[in-house]
Amino acid sequence: MTSRILWIAVLASFVAFLDGTIVNVALPAIDRELGGGLVTQQWVVDGYFITLGAIMLVAGSISDAYGRSLVMRIGLIGFGIASVIITIAPDPLILIAARMLQGAAGAFLVPSSLALISAHYSGAARAKAIGTWTALTTGAMIVGPLIGGLLVDFASWRFAFLINVIPIAITLWLLRKVPDPPRRDKAHIDILGAVLSILGLGGMVFGLIEQPRLGWGHPAIPITLLGGGVLFILFLLRQRRVNDPILPLDLFRARNFWVGNITTTLMYGALSLNGFVLAIYLQEDAGLTATAAGLASLPTTIMMILFSSTSGRLAGKWGPRLFMAFGPILMGVGSLMLLLVSQDFNYWWQVLPAMIVFGLGLAATVSPLTSTVLGAIEEERSGIASAVNNAISRVAGLIAIALVGTIVGGAIDLTGFHRAAVAVAVLLIAGGLVSLVGIRNPKSPAPEDSPAEGARG
């Protein structure tokens, strides 16, 4: 049974990760067919992030109330239905609505996957299972851009989303005989908090995305920005009063938790901005095919696979502070190396070295960062700590994408690409400096052979 549980967890998470890596490669083709320019491209990404980030916070409570297997089935079916709608979407509005549905469904997949592992494994077996889950789901970072690029070039961008149906069907079949563990008594779902979070984030993101097009003089911009801000503040205030908060604010009393989440915000905002701009620029301005653009960032993923476990082991031995400071700064250097890109484009000399340096910095950072954030909170609350950290990374990504138009000056041409590279570098270097100043190494670092590595969804 346990091997079945692990495969279910891997496949369910793989669906969400695969979609996230495919979409950037498909954006130029979506624009060519449906129109809408940069604004539509932003909403295709951020529509997914809004519902994913907001609902992921409440997903743990929903799983406790209704059962992890049931919630995962609902998430998988919803994700599959949304994927089918995307493949037949006749205009940008329906496409964006389907992406928001996809994000809402995807919010249940990663937390439910880790919850299933936690419920059916314990001790060393749990750590090994999470390590296997991390290694296998990382494969989505490799195959996603490649599969997406091939489908865009030789079939249609629509099939890049329809391919989700295959792992969804396999996972649903495996889930048939998986029982749910006992549910927590009196589990409570803060529906009002979830609504305030979604509307607050949605209002602010709408204003940020539409401002370059509509201008500050348009009444919709200040109304949505201020209204969204007020609703999100109400959401935070509500979290202080409810018995089962979606976002337990007391978690942030732990120094490494709040410092680690500031680093998470800066780093994952930079990662989302970099991935979005790079995929579009390489196709629309540098003239690469979708397949080539998808493969362009492969060296970064290879560096992650080769060195992430080593950085996690060494951080467990020496403490995470050095890795969480040096890694983002090295990534920032890699981003600044993209300033070498010119009108006379050459991937091998202008992009590849930057991707390698960027990947080394990312490999040095991710495992220590996740382990530090989760290790700052007592083990019995590690699930909600993981959900909060994952949600923060998604919200950081959606805000960064919402600001793309402002950052690049309205167009992802060479000038806009350079401006984005500088913005990414600033965010990453700031994240490294925050860790350098704020992170505290454990007084007694874990033995070399027993660091607990977290996993990011």
Residue 236 near residue 249 (C-beta atoms within 8 A): yes
Confidence band of 5 (pLDDT split at 50, 70, 90): confident
Judged by DSSP in three states, 320 sits in coil
First to last CA, the chain: 23
Q: Which amino acid is at 438?
A: G
Q: Which two tokens stand for residue 122?
A: 């314990």
Mean pLDDT computed over 209-228: 88
pLDDT over 60 at 414, yes or no = yes
Whether the CA torsion 22, 28, 33, 38 is positive or negative: it is positive
The rounded distance, in Å, linking the Cα atoms of 395 and 22 is: 19
Tokens, residue 139: 């494969």
pLDDT at 455 over 70: no
Tokens representing 335 are 């981003």
Confidence of residue 283 (pLDDT cuts 50, 70, 90): very high
Q: Which pLDDT does position 81 carry in this prediction?
A: 96
pLDDT per residue over 59-114, tens digit each?
Answer: 766 776 677 788 888 999 999 999 999 999 999 999 999 999 998 898 888 777 76
How high is the pLDDT of residue 343?
Answer: 94
For residue range 123-133, list pLDDT tens digits in order. Answer: 667 656 765 67
Signed CA dihedral, 391, 394, 395, 396: sign only: positive
Mean pLDDT of the chain: 85
DSSP code for 442: -
Tell me the DSSP string of 23-50: HHHHHHHHHHHH--HHHHHHHHHHHHHH
pLDDT higher than threshold 50 for residue 384:
yes
pLDDT of res. 383: 63
pLDDT at 71: 83
Mean pLDDT of 369-390: 77
Residue whose C-alpha is closest to residue 29's, from 142, 144, 154: 154
Average pLDDT of span 332-359: 96
Q: Could you tell me if 79 and 106 are in contact, meaning their C-beta atoms sit under 8 angstroms apart? A: yes
Give the confidence band of 373 by pLDDT, cuts at 50, 70, 90. confident
Determine the pLDDT at residue 82.
95
Whether residue 246 contacts residue 58, with contact meaning beta carbons closer than 8 Å, is answered with yes
Locate all alpha helices (DSSP H) within 285-320, ordered by sequence.
290-296, 298-318
